[in-house]
Amino acid sequence: MKVKAKYRSKHKNRKTTRPWVFSLYIGLFAGIIWGALKLLQFAMKYTDVVPGFMLEPFFRHDFLVTWQGILLGYGSLIALSLVAALFYGLVLRKLKGPWPGLIYGLAWWGGLYLLIGPLTGMVPAITQMDVNSLVTDMCLFAVWGLFIGYSITFEFTDERSREPMVMKAEPVK
């Protein structure tokens, strides 16, 4: 009996993914992972910007450096990630490659640290911050955006078509 190889894509019968659900899923994990890294950076004194910097207009700085404030800040980073991933998934999901995600993360950093942050008192002006804090947080936002962008892009573009084909043997009649 001869066996004829038939090639099939692994994803031929795959159901379509709902963009907003998948984006929220990615945003949750982006917030958990990169928020934890922000906590670690602050604990190890790589940055002077508290994890709850987005809450500075609403809470006293003395509270945000306590363990309760740090946990609240961690929650705010998760919320930011959910919003950012939802926006990326609904508007930018068809952009291909890692670069749009990287630029997206840097745009969030620029918006928070250069525009909104100094105006609202979230972060000091860029001229008053030390270089370590600037570079550390810029790199964190870059990889955060890369994670969100590339994860969503991989799901919604033809990046899956680059995966190897699965070979299944069927008997020849």
For the segment 23-63, what is each residue's pLDDT rounded down to a tens digit? 999 999 999 999 999 999 999 999 999 999 999 999 999 99
User: In terms of residue numbers, what domain contains 47?
Assistant: 3-9+17-171
Q: What is the DSSP letter of 54?
A: G
Residue with tokens 């500075």: 56
Mean pLDDT score across all residues of the chain: 87
The pLDDT value recorded for residue 10 is 53
Please report the pLDDT score of residue 7 as a whole number: 45
Which range (88-97, 136-145, 150-159) has the least confidence? 150-159
pLDDT more than 90, % of the chain = 71
For the segment 145-170, what is each residue's pLDDT rounded down to a tens digit? 999 999 998 887 765 565 566 666 66
Mean pLDDT value of segment 134-144: 97
pLDDT tens readout for residues 62-71:
999 999 999 9
Q: Is the predicted pLDDT of residue 6 greater than 70, yes or no?
A: no
How many domains are contained in the chain?
A: 1
Q: What is the gyration radius of the CA atoms in the chain, in angstroms? A: 21
Strands (E), 3-156: 3-8
